[in-house]
Structures are given as structure tokens and as C-alpha cells.
Structure 1
């Protein structure tokens, strides 16, 4: 955090020590730093200041009469957990330090005498961490709010997508700022973004959720490593992001019937999608899969005419899933193909368009999935909202009528959530069926 950071100007530090000369030394160290600095000579005085105003970070001496630093920081942690805590300790204060770590859950501890530059750096790092955590929480609230607001939007589609795209870019920028804290939740976040993307697409062209389900099933069946599975799921959720630049009539034109400028625009959508995602480091691998998911095994694909094993493995798999779904939706040929017809056509082009070995594995999986194994699992039940019970676990993603993701696989239902689903049904005039697994008897 630099002196120019506007965030730093709003930060308030509290220095606590019973020795005035120590407080004076700390004030001198922070004299040119852009913080509001308060001081207290005892634990009780520090708690009074905490009650009177917002404090972002407390630096406390370990040894103080009446209330030592470990006790003070433990009380602060209990009452103001968002406030960061740093302990100043001497070499003989190991027991106090351990207590502060265990009870006060301190951010760092520093030994006396401290190095001024180290102290300033640690304070900056602590406040930067606190700021990124606040941004993460704000981002989660914003994402949830946007997702709920999308249910209520019924304005003109073109105007709506412009507003949603601008908000999506803003969210992406904030995700980049806080990526280290949110890395584990990126896969779920991309499915939320996919729901936003669906607002731009006609209902019959909202293929993302089916493509995601296919690549997840393949990854699970063939035990792909976790990183590849996560990148595949994110790429499947956002593979058609580049189509946001299209005019409405292009969405209703099968790919094989596009000519000249329109065909060139179609061939660029994987590159456009990659470009929109490459600034987000945790999405870079997924972006690469999106770029190459229209390559062909024989080298006649686009955008880079890669062939055979030069095409990333995940991109080869994503191509199979996308083509299988889009063939059935009438997005490739003039007519929609049935499930079996689509598989037969894919098999026909194994070794030309598709990796022949991967194609065989994919066709086998789709053939088995056609049996809908969740319905033959006697632990899975298909229920409407009126029959749901607390503790049930969702085994399939639940989407709204417009394609927006409402609940993800693995979500445990409770009474409040069930009531919200029932109210949402009434508001939308819809009826939802959920696939759930009943809780195990204890």
C-alpha cells in the first residue's frame, strides 16, 4: 500500500503501550504514513477507544500492568474480529506471545527492538490484506445482488445486456484485485457469470449449463486432475462469451449457413472470449481452452489451425461437448439432431474433427448418461418444492426458467431456503423439480 492509495487515508491505527517513550517512538515511525494514529496507555483505555470509534489495526505491547497485550487482543478479537491485531513482544515474553496467537488470533508479532522499515511494511501488508478481504465480501454481496436482480429484469434485451456487460467487467476487475482470496471459488463464480451471459442469448441457445454438466461428468468418470477439471468447468461455462459482440440475428443462424463477414465474425468468437478473460490470472488456463475449442484434429479448425496433440487436451474435450449440445439445438446444421444422431455424426468425424480416442470415450459416456443414472439411484429423489425437507442435498444444479443458476450441486437445503424457493415459484409463475438426496439417518 503506497502513500498515494486513497484507501490508506481512511485507515485508523491504535497504538497501546504503558510506556510513553515507546508510544512516541511508534508515532515517529508512522509520522509520514497516511494513517490516523491514536494511542492508549492501558488495555482499558484501548477498549474505550474501540467502543467510541472504528479502528482498523491495533498494535499492542505484550507486557502491561492490569491487562497484558494477549488479554487485550483476545477481547478485541471477540468483539471486533474484523480489526487486525499485532503484538509487540520481548524475547522473554514467549508465553504471552503464544497466548496472543491462540486467543487473540493475531495477524503478526514483532520483537523489540523493531526495525522501523519492517514495521511500516508489516502495517501496509496487514491493511492491504484487510482491504482485500473487505473487497471479497463486498464482491460476494454484489454478485448475489446482481443474480437476484436479474430475475426481475424484463426491459429490452439489448439495453439490458449492455448494463450487465458493464457490471460484469466491473466484477471481473474487482476479482482481479482480490484473486488470491477468491481463487477457490472461481469455478462457482464462472457459473454465476454464465447465468449473466445467458441473458444475452435466446432461451434455446443457452447451452452453457449442459456443456458444463457434460465436461464435469467426463472429468469425474475419467478422474481428471482437479486443476484440469476446474479449468474445464470454467471454460464450459464461458465458452460462448465472445458471442456477446454479435447482433441478435446471428444467434438464430446455424454455423454451417454463415457466409463472408458473418462467418468471419463467427470464427473470431473463441479469440474474443479468450481476450475478455486473459487479464484474470486464475482464468488464463480456461481462456486458453476457450481459444482452441474450435480447432480440428486434422488442422483445419480455427483460430490457429492446430492439429492432433498440439491442441490442448481440455480444448479437444470441450469441442466434443459443445458440438454434441449445439447439434441437438440446431446451432450447427439447419435442423436439430436427436441424441443418437448427434453421437453418430460425431463418431463419423473421429480422426478428422475430433481426437479419435477421446471421441470414443466421450460417446460411451453420453450413451450411458442417456440412461439418466440419477433416476436409477435409489438414494436420489425427484421432488417438487412442497415436498422438500431440511437437510436434503441437491444433486443437480437448479436453474430458473431464463437459465439463471439458482442453486449449485451440493447445496444443503434448510427451512428458510425452501420457503424462498416456494415464494420465487409463485413470483415467477413456475414450478421447479429438484433432484435431491435425503440426509442420512444419525
Structure 2
């Protein structure tokens, strides 16, 4: 029979407090050891002594994570985890294995698609960390799926609104039909593009920060433009954009005081936790094959040119090119947002700091090109760029082209950069804006027409 034991403790930020774990092993002493290691954690533990007993427990209750020994009489661990993957694919699977169990481990990876395998004897702290990371990853995936569900719901609401508008303005049916597909098209682009998906997901990360201290969107813009400026290929730019969207993913489990503090003012203990976030972000993305290159960029984006960075103290050109670029963009934006120093640094002084540390923190040649781009192109889209206008929906005109993605208050992507505005699209945005909570109003960044000589209304 399975034995269920609730645990005491405090839930880690970013993971559910009521997570349920199933521990499977035919050796009672191993199960007792696992329960001892996890007794201070907030999770509810259930034990099973065989693969068959574990499947009975899975059929009776919903579990978030299963840890199974590799070698058990009857149904072994890899076979059990493969069956759980088939019936309960949302459940995280971890294999306990001896150093000699290479065949079992390979089978578990191939058939059970396990999250991790842990060698016996295990390190207690490492075991707890792996479980926390697995649950945090599962939690973030559930949040992502909830966002996609919300997007579909709002698409449906848009379609219903289109029907109502067509009844009232029949003479403009064709134009209405074109705008009626606006969010459908945005959603299809979201599904087809990992870049856009990660940009939407990064808006969830930004919810931990005030609206005026959310760096991701500007970092994304910077790395895209700089990638084109120095001639990177499309795949490199795509990976850089995804890394820019998710570079602070490893901070999600932080308490608010650490999340809000400038990095140069951290205490010793806070500093130790801060230095772990690039690796934590990489580990969350490890299970996603299309993001393996993105995960590597994130892992090394806090390395320093002089070899005193983290996590591996890589020096000079040992640091991946994309990671060097991401560090330049992150530091340039976070300096201006007050996330590095106690005070916010204006744009010109941020450029001076990049120059000052060009051969210590940053690749000197890359830094020179980066500053050259900042001066020539001003790609960090804001009110300082004379080619960009900042407008509300009342000032929009047909033919204007968006210079920056537009998001709803909920974080849902409404329109992509480069979208040309039409009269009906403007009307539709105004209708959506009226339905936003707390009187939220849209701010749109648009390219200034060549013949426009008016001052920036912002």
C-alpha cells in the first residue's frame, strides 16, 4: 500500500505549496532516507514499494513529480517512468540510479524522457535543489499554458465583437473582415515563433518589477538591432532575442527584497544568491530542446572579459559571442533602470561606463561596435529617438507603422512591431482599450512619417 505523509515548511517562490511527490523504491531504507531528506520541505510525500503500486497510486491521485529507483523487482524504474510519461505526461519524472546502471539510465532518457537522473548515493542538498528546480519549471510551464488559454479566449471575444460590428456597418464588411483576423494572425505568429513566445513569457517575469523598471523589452530590441548591425545570421539573432526575453528567468524564485535591490548594493548572502541566477535560468530551460542555444547564452551572460565572472570564470573569447552581446545590452539597460547602481544612470553616462570597463567587463572590440551602434542608430526605442513618435490611440492615423510590440494590460501581445495601422484597426484598439481594467491606456511607439515635421507629442 502507498504511504502518504504531509511535510511542513514554506513553499519556494515560483512553485506550488501543495506539490505532491511520489517516491518509489523496493528498499524501505531508501524510502526512509528520501523522507528524511525532504521532511522540512512543504511538499506532500507518498511512497510506493513497486512499479505496480506506484501506478495504482497515480491512478488514484494526481502527482506533480515522481522519483523512482532504477532497479526494482518486477517493473523496473525506466519501464515505470515510460508508462507514467504515456498516461500522465504532465508529471515530472526523475530516476535514481547507481553508477553502473548505464543501460537503465539510457532507457529512462529515451523511453521515459526523464527530467533528470540522480546517482546513488546522492547529495542531500543537490537532491532538494533538483526537485525545487523541477517544480519551478513545471509551474512556469503551467503559467505559460494559462497565458495561451487566455489568448484564445480573447481571440474568441474579438471574433464575437467583429460579428456585432459587421451587423452595424454592413457597407464596410470587407474592411471589417480584414481587421477581424488581427488577433487570430497575432496568435498564429505567437505559436509559430519561439521568439515571440518568449517575449510574451518575459512579460510574466516583468510583473515582479514596477512598470518603469522592466528591462526585457528594451534588451530584446537592443540585441536584435545590434545583431543586424554586426552581421549575425538569423538564427543567432533569434537565439539572442529569446535569451534577452528570458535572461532573468533564474530570478523568479527570489524574494522581493532581492529582486528589487540594485546588484551593487547586495549583502554578502544576497550576492551569493544573485550569482546563481544565470545557471538557474539555464537549468529551467534545459528540457526544452529548441532553447538549448538560448540556455547556453543565458548561462554565460554574466562572465567577464577579464575572467572574474560567473559561473565558469571564462576569459576573453572563451565566452560565447552571444553571451558577450547580451551582457552589454543587459548592463546598458539595467544601469538606466537603477537595477545595478543605487541611482539611475542616464543614457550618456551609461555609455561612458561601458567605455570605462570595455577591457575588464566587456569585449573591447564588441563594446566599441555597440557604442557606435547606439550613437548612429539609437535603437533602444524611446522618446530620445527623433524618428519615433509616442502616441495614444486618439492620435493614431491610418498608415502609421508600429516601432515596438504592443501589449495589453494582461501581458497579451496585441500587435507586432512593423504592423501598419488601418482605420478599422485603430477603431478596434480603441474598443479594446475601453475594456481594459483600471482605466489602462495603450502607449504606441510608431515610426515618424518622412514628411512629418511636428514635435513628438509625448
Change beyond 3 A, Cα 1:201–1:224? same
**2:296 paired with 1:288:** yes
Paired residues of 1:270 and 1:290 also in contact (CA < 8 A): yes
Deviation larger for 311-320 or 334-343 = 334-343
Q: Name the counterpart of 1:189.
A: 197
Shift of 1:393: 3.4
Q: Name the counterpart of 2:371.
A: 363
1:222 to 224, 230, 240: 230
For 1:373 and 1:256, the matched residues in 2 are separated by: 26
Could you say what secondary structure the match of 1:393 adopts?
coil
Q: Name the counterpart of 1:144.
A: 151
For 1:354 and 1:309, the matched residues in 2 are separated by: 11
> Cα deviation per residue 1:342-394 (whole Å; 9 max; x = unaligned)?
111111111111000001011111223449899655xx765542344556432
Change beyond 3 A, Cα 1:405–1:265? farther
* TM-score normalized with structure 2 length: 0.53
* TM-score normalized with structure 1 length: 0.55
> Cα deviation per residue 1:161-213 (whole Å; 9 max; x = unaligned)?
xxxxxxxxxxxxxxxxxxxx998511111111111221223323310001001
Change beyond 3 A, Cα 1:241–1:146? farther
The runs of 5 or more residues in structure 1 that have no matched partner are 1-137, 150-180
**2:307 paired with 1:299:** yes
Q: How many residues align?
A: 270
Paired residues of 2:389 and 2:446 also in contact (CA < 8 A): yes
Q: Name the counterpart of 2:417.
A: 409
Q: Name the counterpart of 2:240.
A: 232
Could you say what secondary structure the match of 2:294 adopts?
helix
For 1:210 and 1:343, the matched residues in 2 are separated by: 15
For 1:282 and 1:253, the matched residues in 2 are separated by: 32
Q: Name the counterpart of 1:430.
A: 441
Could you say what secondary structure the match of 2:446 adopts?
strand
Q: CA RMSD in A?
A: 3.3
Shift of 1:412: 3.8
Q: Name the counterpart of 2:333.
A: 325
The runs of 5 or more residues in structure 2 that have no matched partner are 1-144, 157-188, 451-458
Change beyond 3 A, Cα 1:328–1:436? closer
- Higher Cα Rg, which structure: 1
Change beyond 3 A, Cα 1:404–1:307? farther
For 2:146 and 2:409, the matched residues in 1 are separated by: 25
Shift of 1:416: 4.9
Paired residues of 2:404 and 2:444 also in contact (CA < 8 A): no
Could you say what secondary structure the match of 2:225 adopts?
helix
For 1:233 and 1:225, the matched residues in 2 are separated by: 12
Q: Name the counterpart of 1:251.
A: 259
